[in-house]
Structure 1
Amino acid sequence: MEVEQKKEPYKKLIIALSVIIPIAVAVLFGVKVPGYDLSFLPPIYASMNGITAVLLIAAVVAIKNGKRVLHERLIKICMLCSALFLVMYVLYHMTSDSTPYGGTGPIRYVYFGILISHILLSVIVIPFVLFSYVRALSGNFARHRKLAKVTFPIWLYVAVTGVIVYLMISPYYPQH
Structure 2
Amino acid sequence: MTNTLAQKEKIYNRWIVALSILIPVAVAVLFTVKVEIPGVDRLGFLPPIYATINALTAIILVLAVIQIKKGNRKTHENLMKLAIGLSALFLVMYVIYHMTSSSTPFGGEGNIRTIYFFILISHILLSIAVIPLVLISFVRALSQRFDKHKKIAKITFPIWLYVAVTGVIVYIMISPYY
Deviations 1:83-132 (CA, angstroms, capped at 9, x unpaired): 00000000000000000000001000000000000000000000000000
Q: Tell whether 2:119 aligns with 1:114.
A: yes
Please tell me the residue identity of whatever aligns with 1:10. Answer: Y
Residues 7, 91 of structure 1: alpha-carbon distance in 2 compared, 3 angstrom cutoff: closer
In the alignment, what sits opposite 1:21? 23
Name the residue aligned to 1:56.
61
Moved more, 126-135 or 28-37: 28-37
What amino acid is aligned across from residue 42 of structure 1 in structure 2? P
Provide the C-alpha distance between the structure 1 equivalents of 2:7 and 2:151, rounded to a whole number of angstroms.
19
| Percentage of identical aligned residues | 65
Aligned-pair distance for 1:8? Answer: 4.4
Counterpart Cα distance in 1 of 2:44 and 2:14 = 37
Q: CA deviation at 1:54?
A: 0.4
2:113 is equivalent to residue 136 of structure 1 = no
- How many Å separate the matches in 1 of 2:34 and 2:9? 42
Q: Is the 8 A contact 1:45 1:89 kept in 2?
A: yes
Q: Secondary structure at the match of 2:162?
A: helix
Equivalents in 2 of 1:95, 1:121: separation in Å? 25
Of 91, 94, 104, 2:96 maps to: 91
Relative to the length of structure 1, the TM-score reads 0.94
Instruction: Give the alignment of 1:10-49 within 5 angstroms.
Output: 10-35=12-37, 36=40, 37-49=42-54
- The equivalent of 2:110 in structure 1 is 105
Could you say what the CA RMSD is over the residues aligned between the two structures, in angstroms? 1.3
Q: Give the conservation status (yes or no) of the 8 Å contact 1:48–1:81.
A: yes
Unaligned segments of structure 2, at least 5 residues: none
State the TM-score, normalized to the length of structure 2: 0.93
Quote the Cα distance in structure 2 between the aligned partners of 1:148 and 1:131: 9
Say whether 1:171 aligns with 2:173.
no
Q: Following superposition, which runs of at least 4 residues in structure 1 exceed 6 angstroms of deviation? A: none
Counterparts of 1:27 and 1:4, CA distance in 2 = 34
The one-letter amino acid paired with 1:81 is L
Change (3 A) 1:117 1:150: same
Partner Cα distance (2:11, 2:74) in 1 = 23
CA distance in 2, matches of 1:4, 1:109: 47
Offset of residue 55 of structure 1? 0.4
Q: Per-residue deviation at 1:5? A: 3.8
Give the drift of 1:38.
1.3
Paired position in structure 2 for 1:145: 150
Shift of 1:4: 5.8
C-alpha deviation, 1:39, in angstroms: 1.0
Count of residues in correspondence between the two structures: 172
